[in-house]
Structure 1
Amino acid sequence: MAQLTQQELESHLWKSADILRGSIDSSDYKSYIFGLLFIKRLSDVFHERRFELIKEHGEEIGEILAEDPEQYQFFVPVESRWEEIRKNAEDIGSVINIAFETLENENKTLEGVLTPIDFNRKEVLTDEVLQRLLQHFSTIDLTNSNLSEPDMLGRAYEYLIAQFADDAGKKGGEFYTPSKVVELIVKLIKPEEGMRVYDPTCGSGGMLIQSVDFVRGKGGNPQSLSLYGQEKNLNTWSIAKMNLLLHGLPDHDIRKGDTIRDPRLVEDNELMLFDRVIANPPFSLKEWGRESADHDTFGRFRFGIPPKNAGDYAFVQHMIASLKYDGVAGVVMPHGALFRSGAEGKIREGILEADLIEAVIGLPSGLFYGTGIPACILIFNRNKPEERKGNVLFIAAEAGFQEGKNQNTLRDSDIKKIVDVFDTYEDIEGYARIIGIEEIKSNNYNLNITRYIDKSVDEEKIDISSVIEEIKHLENDHIDIKAKLSGYLKELGFGDV
């Protein structure tokens, strides 16, 4: 029997959205589909492992071992097994909720991951709709042996997250950063084997997963990375946890809570420190926690407290405070953070004078879900190479993208160009410039890219004397032509013209 392909899996999962269409809001699809996908996967793998134990040790010993939770990454109790859920023809929502709760109780690493998803919403999720969903998932085999590639389930999950972000419009941007933008930042900050990587606004976990992919792509051991994150939205936190687990990344630490008001990754009453920090915080968040900043016990706001109506520099300063002495951070910011004055201007001045900004990269418009606000990437480095100290590299990459119907995307060639210029750290006319801190200081610490990179095309200088000479030639030609025409007309008997 042929193994399941990536395309077949993605198509199957997306069709599950069609079953829900019209019953619930599209922005809610993801929780229900991800929840069923997750429990079906765990149930299938559990039975696969159970069969292996009996085959390997014989029926008598194998049956005993098969009931030992220590033999499994996730032990699936009877109530949570797929075939048990499928036995019920009514009150299906309650049965699924109980299956989730039982599964969490048996596996502490899943605590709180599945129970926020409420399938017992009879007014919208009827037994008939849930029965169709269960039937749909029953037709697909998610055992390891049936997957044509080891990480295909994780990649199918990422595909679904992207599709739901697109479907959910503005809400999609709250939990998902476009994959190509994430790829760019990861290639700029370059995580390495053995590092601790942290995303303080981790959404669905895509930035952490791509950090692992980067290390794997360089031939390193991806399991050597330690992954950390925090996410305020409970449902999105659940998605992040499932996403990492389905990518085969069980050793991670994703906390629930508000990163600014209540940072949860703390050791001995101090912020944990990381080798790499990567994030796409909400743009210019109004209720970011200004009231908590005055009493911050972690020393995060040493450059100043941001204004109440824009939390961009609250997240930036949290990231800087979370870096090890030689750590590097990459963050997506709205362009306004580059030039707004007042409290933000003072914070920007302090960060620049501390020589923490390595690069400012302007991105094309229309890359992000639900917003047309122009964005940029800021790279912070606590230990810049000697030749980069006292300088900031500006890259004007706004023009490099593939235009899309609803959303623009970065092409591989666009990403390569930006990363190559960042790595070589060189001037390219109209695209990149290295600017000293003194020049930035003379511009009141304004980081607006257009101040430092002239994108206008020089007009060709007009040689006035040449133009006059050309006009004279044209006038003489006109006189000659007129004289010839008069001669022809005389010969024909028409007289002068």
Structure 2
Amino acid sequence: MSAPKIITREELDRLLWGAADILRGTTDAADFKNHILSLLFLKRLNDVFLERRQEIIDEYVKSGKPEDQATEFAEDPDEYGRGSYYIPLKARWAELMKIPENRAEEIDIALQAVEDENGDIFNGILTSVRFNDERRFGGNAKDLDAFMQRLLTHFANIPLGNHNLIDPDILGESYEYLIDRFADGAGKKGGEYRTPPMVVRTIVELLRPQEGMRIHDPTCGTGGMLIGCGRYVEDHGGNPKNITLTGQEKNYSTWAIAKFNMLLHNFPDGKVELGDTIVSPKFEEGGALQSFDRIIANPPFSLREWHGVEADQDTGKVDSKKVKERWQNDSFRRFHRGIPPTTKGDTAFLQHMIEVCNDRGMVGVVLPHGVLFRGGAEAAVRKALLQEDLFEAVIGLPEKLFYGTGIPASILILNKNKPTEREKHVLFIDASAEGFYHEGKNRNSLRWEDILRIVSVFNAWAKPDRLPEAVEQLSQSWIDGYEQHRNIQLERSPNNELRELVNNRFDNELVKVQEAQKVVKEWFQADHPGGRTSLEKFANVVPLAEIEQENDFNLNISRYVDTSDPPPQLDVKAELKKLRKLEEKRDTAEQQMNQLLAELGYEE
């Protein structure tokens, strides 16, 4: 038997995006992403099934069974598990390739068959899209068949078994690469299901999830934040299987993608529920909300329909009194600090997250800046949370970071178990200024140095004497994670050519970390007009008393972090000296001019 083909992350990205190229022009990104991702998942299930099937046959043959009997045993669904699933004959890729016509219908049947066979795992996710839809794929049966044949053939040439992947993580990484590409193409719609990966990385680094923790995302989209927490645990030497990942997502197709994502990242025990977190939270027991060690989220900004109250049919408006009446009686008592405004759900999600956070837990959430300073009910919620000493950090992000919106946002870190030195204080960081992000044509992004700067300042609690060590420790943790994955991939590389590719890739990643470290160190040591330091212009630890007494619980970052440089100090003596010299030159020029005029007869 020949050795399996080993595929790298870069090659897998290229091959998977090639499937999207087949459909481009027939439908938009918001539609075809679900079909591409479903076929990717079906092909992955097929290839892992075939690997496990061969293992079963080999095991029985080795034990003395005839090959035909061993092959028969390999058709027993109970023989499959530990990441492999039984695939019925009609859903196997080789059978789909034989179909002469009506291929879209047969793909739908295949997905249904796999779901029926493994309903406890795949319930509802494989049938979340429909392939047999002529209107979506070219307008007639012939064109539809042609598209399906091209897709089947394309995926047939992409090996997705466990033995084909140079690192178990690359399939999940490539899956997220596809989601990012689709989110970019979907524009505003992309923001409904996807948070930029570097923003996710920033929040995960701030929360520092640990092995054994229960981690929850109440508005999980495609699951990227949960997976980021799992990867963090793995990269820091923990067992990612020894964490609990849970999430809830309202959009059906996005929920299905999140389920795929968890499975492809080897988190089969991750639990993602379908439903509205505010109206119908799924993670509750006996009438009480479950609690978690880490809550991480990027809820929809200022959601108008957060409350579930229908608008009046005549006026088209929602009655604020009905909203207040409904949520004053919330069975989970989430809004005792204040009922959120009828047209803005930001503090609804924030309060929900606080309620599901256990007594030693932390919350990391992305919210629009308005939450920091708006009045009314939101001000009451903000005041209560500050008086409870839950805010640990408020971090301002650059504009145009998120898919589909240009408004700047903030990361809020809340902590029910703040270290003693952080009690009764809040750290403010303004990471929105020019130079603290990569400026793109349509959308900006955070770089490694930007994450390193933010997280190091948070870890050092903005103390200058602690910052160099914090930068060093965080950089080293990234390097250790890269080296861990380098070693995994080198062990799976069958030849020197592939090993060289692996080493080149990770060498490049390490260079990025080293460059980020250098940039942050130079930034920290830079001189500024007026003698202020870079750190002083970037962050400030503020006592709660100042926030209350001088700012009436307003958390607007600009009140606490002054990023401007003072006007230059005027040296009066030096300036007068310059003025006297200019006056002398003026007098000399005037004398010369008068003399010239006299010579020409213009003056007596």
Q: Does 1:67 align with 2:101?
A: no
Aligned to 2:491: none
The answer to whether the Cα contact below 8 Å between 1:93 and 1:122 also exists between their aligned partners in 2 is: no
Q: What is the DSSP-based 3-state SS (H/G/I as helix, E as strand, rest coil) of the residue aligned with 1:422?
A: helix
Q: Does 1:439 align with 2:546?
A: yes
Deviations 1:407-450 (A, max 9, x none): 11111111011111111112631111111111111212110000
Paired with 1:210 and 1:464, the residues of 2 have a C-alpha distance of 57
Cα deviation for residue 242 of structure 1 reads: 0.4
Q: Give the alignment partner of residue 166 of structure 1, picking from 180, 184, 192.
A: 184
Aligned to 1:419: 455
Aligned to 1:85: 96
Code of the residue aligned with 1:96 in structure 2: it is I
Paired with 1:436 and 1:325, the residues of 2 have a C-alpha distance of 22
Unpaired stretches in structure 1, ≥5 consecutive residues: none
Cα deviation for residue 61 of structure 1 reads: 5.0
Paired with 2:544 and 2:232, the residues of 1 have a C-alpha distance of 32
Q: Give the alignment partner of residue 21 of structure 2, picking from 18, 21, 39.
A: 18
Q: Does 1:401 align with 2:437?
A: yes
Q: What is the DSSP-based 3-state SS (H/G/I as helix, E as strand, rest coil) of the residue aligned with 2:347?
A: helix
Q: Does 1:230 align with 2:259?
A: no
Q: Give the alignment partner of residue 314 of structure 1, picking from 348, 353, 378.
A: 348
Unpaired stretches in structure 2, ≥5 consecutive residues: 62-66, 138-143, 309-322, 464-534
Aligned to 1:115: 127
Q: Does 1:457 align with 2:565?
A: yes
Paired with 2:76 and 2:358, the residues of 1 have a C-alpha distance of 42
Deviations 1:293-313 (A, max 9, x none): 233111111211101100000
Cα deviation for residue 132 of structure 1 reads: 1.2
Paired with 2:108 and 2:71, the residues of 1 have a C-alpha distance of 28
Paired with 1:160 and 1:361, the residues of 2 have a C-alpha distance of 29
Q: Give the alignment partner of residue 144 of structure 1, picking from 144, 154, 162.
A: 162
Q: TM-score, normalised by structure 1?
A: 0.95
Deviations 1:10-32 (A, max 9, x none): 11111111211122222111100
Code of the residue aligned with 1:70 in structure 2: it is D
Code of the residue aligned with 1:7 in structure 2: it is E
Deviations 1:233-257 (A, max 9, x none): 0000000000110111101111000
The answer to whether the Cα contact below 8 Å between 2:194 and 2:224 also exists between their aligned partners in 1 is: yes
The answer to whether the Cα contact below 8 Å between 1:486 and 1:495 also exists between their aligned partners in 2 is: no
Percent of aligned pairs with the same amino acid: 49
Aligned to 1:39: 42
Task: Describe how 1:237-316 pairs up with structure 2 within 5 A.
Answer: 237-289=255-307, 291=323, 292-316=326-350
Q: Give the alignment partner of residue 468 of structure 1, picking from 559, 570, 576.
A: 576
Deviations 1:158-203 (A, max 9, x none): 1000000000000001110000000000000110001000000000
Aligned to 1:182: 200
The answer to whether the Cα contact below 8 Å between 2:337 and 2:381 also exists between their aligned partners in 1 is: yes
Which range moved further: 69-78 or 288-297?
288-297
Q: What is the DSSP-based 3-state SS (H/G/I as helix, E as strand, rest coil) of the residue aligned with 1:331?
A: strand
Aligned to 2:111: 100
Paired with 1:12 and 1:225, the residues of 2 have a C-alpha distance of 32
Which range moved further: 370-379 or 460-469?
460-469
Paired with 1:448 and 1:61, the residues of 2 have a C-alpha distance of 72
The answer to whether the Cα contact below 8 Å between 2:328 and 2:336 also exists between their aligned partners in 1 is: no
Code of the residue aligned with 1:283 in structure 2: it is F
Q: What is the DSSP-based 3-state SS (H/G/I as helix, E as strand, rest coil) of the residue aligned with 2:212?
A: coil
The answer to whether the Cα contact below 8 Å between 2:217 and 2:225 also exists between their aligned partners in 1 is: yes
Cα deviation for residue 474 of structure 1 reads: 2.0
The answer to whether the Cα contact below 8 Å between 1:362 and 1:397 also exists between their aligned partners in 2 is: yes
Q: Give the alignment partner of residue 373 of structure 2, picking from 317, 339, 352.
A: 339
Which range moved further: 152-161 or 55-64?
55-64
Deviations 1:93-142 (A, max 9, x none): 22111111111111121000111111110223311111111111112221
Q: Give the alignment partner of residue 145 of structure 2, picking from 124, 127, 133.
A: 127
The answer to whether the Cα contact below 8 Å between 1:43 and 1:76 also exists between their aligned partners in 2 is: yes
Which range moved further: 226-235 or 10-19?
10-19
Cα deviation for residue 70 of structure 1 reads: 2.5
Which range moved further: 434-443 or 341-350?
434-443
Code of the residue aligned with 1:226 in structure 2: it is T
Deviations 1:337-359 (A, max 9, x none): 10000010111111111111100
Deviations 1:18-61 (A, max 9, x none): 21112222211110000000001101110111111112221255
Code of the residue aligned with 2:443 in structure 1: it is Q
Code of the residue aligned with 1:193 in structure 2: it is E
Code of the residue aligned with 2:104 in structure 1: it is G
Instruction: Count residues with an aligned counterpart.
Output: 494
Which range moved further: 290-299 or 207-216?
290-299
Paired with 1:407 and 1:123, the residues of 2 have a C-alpha distance of 32
Paired with 1:315 and 1:17, the residues of 2 have a C-alpha distance of 35
Q: TM-score, normalised by structure 2?
A: 0.79
Which range moved further: 219-228 or 143-152?
143-152
Deviations 1:203-261 (A, max 9, x none): 00000111011111111111111100000000000000001101111011110000000
Q: Does 1:8 align with 2:8?
A: no
Paired with 2:600 and 2:341, the residues of 1 have a C-alpha distance of 87
Q: Give the alignment partner of residue 221 of structure 1, picking from 211, 221, 239.
A: 239
The answer to whether the Cα contact below 8 Å between 2:214 and 2:293 also exists between their aligned partners in 1 is: yes
Q: What is the DSSP-based 3-state SS (H/G/I as helix, E as strand, rest coil) of the residue aligned with 1:417?
A: helix
Code of the residue aligned with 2:199 in structure 1: it is V
Aligned to 1:153: 171
Aligned to 1:193: 211
The answer to whether the Cα contact below 8 Å between 1:89 and 1:131 also exists between their aligned partners in 2 is: no
Q: Are residues 482 and 202 of structure 1, via their aligned partners in 2, closer, same or farther at CA, if it must alter by over 3 Å? A: same
Cα deviation for residue 465 of structure 1 reads: 4.9
